[in-house]
Amino acid sequence: MSYSDKVIDHYNNPRNVGSMDKASTDVGTGLVGAPECGDVMKLQIRVNRETNVIEEAKFKTFGCGSAIASSSLATEWVKGKTVDEALSIKNMDIVKELSLPPVKIHCSVLAEDAIRAAIGDWKKKQESSKPVSVEAR
């Protein structure tokens, strides 16, 4: 099995590796997969509260080359998008971009899950920090 040039490129030059402060209300963290499965992705986003635009994204991945490339690509793609635009990223887009073979499609699915999990986490934080409205008498 040989890798596509794009997968190799992401593996050799991964984009946006790193971590953000999990506790910050601007940050959404998605942690998906399991060590027993050989795939764990952590994807984090920082969202501008006013514009809902993802201004920064970081990732870390335990997994094969295709998994690393999928999550690296995911951070590239979500940056600059609004949260809702990012939700429209589909795993098959990743498969196409990286020319993933059938046996590696699950890596792209996990990356899509990671994006959703990060956005979900951020949204939950926004819900819980909303001021409670008091009904006027």
Partner 1 sequence: MSTDVKIPQASTQAHHPDAKGVKLPIYMDNHATTPMDPRVLEEMLPYFMEKFGNAASRNHSFGWAAEEGVETARERIAKLVGATTKEIIFTSGATESDNLAIKGVAEMYREKGNHIITAVTEHKAVLDTCKRLEKYGYRVTYMPVQKDGLIDLDDLKRAMDDKTILVTIMAANNEIGVLQPVTEIGKLCRERGVIFHTDAVQAIGKIPVDVNKQNIDVMSITGHKLYGPKGVGALYVRRKNPRVQLSALIDGGGHERGMRSGTLNVPGIVGLGKACAIAQEELPQESCRLAGLRNRLRDRIMNRLDETYINGSMEHRLPGNLNISFAYVEGESLLMGINDIAVSSGSACTSATLEPSYVLKALGTGDDLAHSSIRFGIGRFNTEAEVDYVADRVIETVERLRELSPLYEMAKEGINLKDVKWAGE
Active site (annotated) includes residue 37: yes
Task: Please tell me the distance from the alpha carbon of residue 39 to that of residue 48, in angstroms, as a whole number.
Answer: 30
Catalytic residue among 7, 67, 98, 107: 107
Closest-CA residue to 4 (of 83, 71, 66): 66
Please report how close the Cβ of residue 122 comes to partner 1 at its closest, in angstroms. 14
Please report how close the Cβ of residue 112 comes to partner 1 at its closest, in angstroms. 13
Please report how close the Cβ of residue 53 comes to partner 1 at its closest, in angstroms. 16
Catalytic residue among 37, 49, 101, 124: 37
Closest-CA residue to 58 (of 95, 39, 32, 30): 30
Task: Please tell me the distance from the alpha carbon of residue 57 to that of residue 84, in angstroms, as a whole number.
Answer: 15
- Closer by beta carbon to partner 1, 65 or else 89: 65
Active site (annotated) includes residue 64: no
Q: So which residues are the catalytic ones?
A: 37, 107
